[in-house]
Amino acid sequence: MFYETQKNNHGLPHNPFKSLIIPRPIGWITTQDDAGNVNLAPYSYFNALCDNPPMIMFSTTNSRSKGVVKDTLHNAETQGEFVVNMATFELREAVNLSSAPLPKDESEVAFAKLETLPSSLVKPPRIKSSPIHLECKYYRSLQLPSNNGDTNRVVFGTVIGVHIDDVLIVNGKIDVTRIKPIARLGYMDYAVVDNIFSMQRPL
């Protein structure tokens, strides 16, 4: 089949786009507002961009109400800091719960029955039960086009501090099978990474 995205003429009951770029890692992001309220939300428009310096991005879309940006975006842009927590299979229910659109002063951390730990270099805290945390400084945002009034905006950040649970390090390498990271597919579907394979690069 072929369809044109402007015409959306795929003929399927659901737009397949999010099922075509898979699996997408999940940035489980903690931020803080100017009053110190801690916010937590998952973002699967998320990825690493480069490693020296290490930089990452996440992108917000589907504003709850037009003109009001999501809390993670607002807090990252106004406070200049955020933390990316690793979303694992063990924490999958909490990851999902933390996507609830709670009022600004109500924390998804408590709602998902999670605890936090202070960060080393930034104000937003880390999720205690998550085994990896990336402490990030906001770099800049890029406004993307929108066909429906949503705020489609990419946030770029520089990773300035990294916490890794020591039990994940086996023979000097990160053992992914001990993390069991989850990733987003299309629809309501997820994947879990619980086995890997290796290949040497040519040349």
Ligand X SMILES: Cc1cc2nc3c(=O)[nH]c(=O)nc-3n(C[C@H](O)[C@H](O)[C@H](O)COP(=O)(O)O)c2cc1C
Question: Where on the chain is the footprint of ligand X (CB under 6 A)?
Answer: 26, 39, 41-45, 59-62, 70-72, 96, 99, 101, 184
Choose between 41 and 122: whose C-beta lies nearer to ligand X.
41
Query: Shortest approach of ligand X to residue 171 CB, angstroms?
Result: 31
Query: What does the H/E/C string look like for 14-81?
Result: CCCHHHCCCCEECEEEEEECCCCCEEEEEECCEEEEEECCEEEEEEECCCCCCCCCCHHHHHHHHHCE
Looking at residue 157, its amino acid is G
Choose between 28 and 133: whose C-beta lies nearer to ligand X.
28
- How far is the C-alpha of 156 from the C-alpha of 107, rounded, in Å? 24
Torsion, Cα of 31, 58, 79, 70 (10° steps): -70
Query: Shortest approach of ligand X to residue 72 CB, angstroms?
Result: 3
Query: Shortest approach of ligand X to residue 150 CB, angstroms?
Result: 8
CB 128 within 8 A of CB 114: yes
Q: Is 109 helix (H, G, I), strand (E, B) or coil?
A: helix
Choose between 41 and 159: whose C-beta lies nearer to ligand X.
41
- How far is the C-alpha of 130 from the C-alpha of 190, rounded, in Å? 18
Do the bridges between strand 46-51 and strand 54-60 make them parallel or antiparallel, or are there none, so unpaired?
antiparallel
Choose between 69 and 117: whose C-beta lies nearer to ligand X.
69
Query: Shortest approach of ligand X to residue 173 CB, angstroms?
Result: 27
Choose between 93 and 175: whose C-beta lies nearer to ligand X.
93
Query: Shortest approach of ligand X to residue 57 CB, angstroms?
Result: 10
